[in-house]
Structure 1
């Protein structure tokens, strides 16, 4: 029997959203809940990442229905340029498992190609931890962080995720062939009450 994780967006109020921040180059950004006006831009970012073939396991995400069912089924948060409102990145938070294990969440992160290496991923990831906790999850678990994605691996280690496993030849990545993936776990109950 396959476990199905039902679509669900929480109604939990997060009083700190929208939240302002700054990127490495000083660009002012805003983190907030996703709204439908960004669907086309978000879909374009995901299509680009999936077509790169070295970060996500998907082979194709061109169909908007596939995009909606995978990325928009639960809680989504976006980072936009405060001045221009350009979408720079996003992440979802959803249960990793069904039923009795649904207190463990996972996240899927996407940064626009032109916005990479400017701290968008770090800004999203740091806030993901608190948002996931405040959405009532107890832990976060990533099961497919490809070892070739050095920025992602380094970020999770820097944020204090525990490396709990390795899957040999987990993905047949474009230009890389069969590549191992790491598994990362974070106990959200160990987070300080508020961000520093």
Structure 2
């Protein structure tokens, strides 16, 4: 079940968030963020939103979505996703991705732009490609992966018109 994230979900979301950030493979968030700082970064304010995918009372993944830029750029959306280690490979990212695409369509966005998909994160690149996103550019060496060194960041886009 995908639903709006609530403040009382944060303890579980934080476990997922911190593990992913500490892993150093997919997000450029500082590794010394406190839980409170991370919560302010992850919980979006309207018109944006943050959701969780919950199964049997456990949060398996989370996504945040909304306008990529304010004002004259607000017609293009963006989103970020995190899936718990235990739930990887179970379709959680796909379900969240489909939800995000549907939400952006329903809200009248003209497209969705992912600003920084780490090129060595092949599971994400393959999923977004499978859902119709195209790589429209890659910034070479823009991400310092703990395991792969300097790798590119893809800008990926899905046209919703």
- Fold-level similarity (TM above 0.5): yes
Contact residue 44 and residue 65 of structure 2 kept, 8 A: no
Q: Does 1:53 align with 2:27?
A: no
- Measured after TM superposition, the shift of residue 61 of structure 1 is 5.5
Q: Does 1:78 align with 2:52?
A: yes
Local SS of the residue matching 1:145: strand
The partner residue of 1:136 within 108, 111, 136 is 108
Distance 1:186 1:99, change over 3 A: same
Contact residue 144 and residue 181 of structure 1 kept, 8 A: yes
Give the match for residue 113 of structure 1.
Answer: 85
- Measured after TM superposition, the shift of residue 59 of structure 1 is 2.8
Distance 1:85 1:61, change over 3 A: farther
Contact residue 94 and residue 105 of structure 1 kept, 8 A: yes
Cα distance in 1 for residues equivalent to 2:93 and 2:156: 16
| TM-score where L is the length of structure 1 | 0.77
Cα distance in 2 for residues equivalent to 1:129 and 1:156: 11
Please identify which structure carries the higher helix content.
2
| TM-score where L is the length of structure 2 | 0.92
Distance 1:88 1:177, change over 3 A: same
Contact residue 61 and residue 67 of structure 1 kept, 8 A: no
| Aligned length, in residue pairs | 158
Cα distance in 1 for residues equivalent to 2:8 and 2:39: 14
Local SS of the residue matching 1:46: helix
Q: Does 1:88 align with 2:50?
A: no
Cα distance in 1 for residues equivalent to 2:160 and 2:62: 20
> For 1:142-157, what aligned pairs fall within 5 Å after superposition?
142-157=114-129
Give the match for residue 19 of structure 1.
Answer: none
Contiguous gaps of at least 5 residues in structure 2? none
Contiguous gaps of at least 5 residues in structure 1? 1-29, 190-196
Give the match for residue 169 of structure 1.
Answer: 141
Contact residue 53 and residue 59 of structure 1 kept, 8 A: no
Local SS of the residue matching 2:28: coil
- Measured after TM superposition, the shift of residue 131 of structure 1 is 1.0
The partner residue of 1:127 within 99, 102, 118 is 99
